[in-house]
């Protein structure tokens, strides 16, 4: 799982922050679950753009997960406006789960 980005340093910082956000039904963070598709950074306009998905369009915890994702990014980058975009194209598949995520799930 390698999100698309225009700034690998900011992306890595963002991913570390987003690892605090868990999918409450699965218990795995959204990064290792492979829900984060893209993180872009615009220093001129002081904006951080994050594109992510959910495991399903009908995820009952979707709003909670996206709100938490936006909040941790805003806390990590307080001087920037965070724009979180939710997409279902492409749809999430289990192939997006990281090795760490697979290890976590196999221990359950």
pTM: 0.91
For residue 65, which of 31, 96, 107 has the smallest C-alpha distance? 31
Which CATH superfamily includes the segment(s) 4-92? Fe-S cluster assembly (FSCA) (3.30.300.130)
Which DSSP symbol is given to 92? Answer: P
- Residue 86 forms beta bridges with which residues? 52
Please give the residue that has the higher pLDDT: either 2 or 95: 95
Token pair 């976590």 in the structure block, residue: 104
Residue 40 φ then ψ, to 5°: -125, 155
Please, what is the average pLDDT of the chain?
93
Question: Distance between CA atoms of 6 and 35, rounded to whole angstroms?
Answer: 18
Q: 40-74: per-residue pLDDT in tens?
A: 999 999 999 999 999 999 999 999 999 999 999 99
């Amino acid at each position: 799982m390698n999100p698309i980005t225009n700034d690998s340093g900011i992306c890595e910082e963002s991913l570390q922050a987003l690892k605090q956000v868990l999918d409450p039904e699965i218990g795995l963070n959204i990064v290792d679950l492979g829900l984060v598709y893209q993180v872009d950074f615009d220093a001129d306009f002081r904006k951080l753009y994050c594109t992510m998905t959910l495991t399903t369009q009908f995820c009952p915890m979707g709003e909670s997960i996206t709100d938490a994702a936006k909040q941790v990014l805003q806390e990590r980058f307080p001087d920037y406006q965070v724009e979180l975009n939710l997409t279902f194209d492409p749809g999430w598949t289990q192939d997006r789960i990281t090795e760490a995520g697979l290890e976590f799930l196999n221990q359950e």
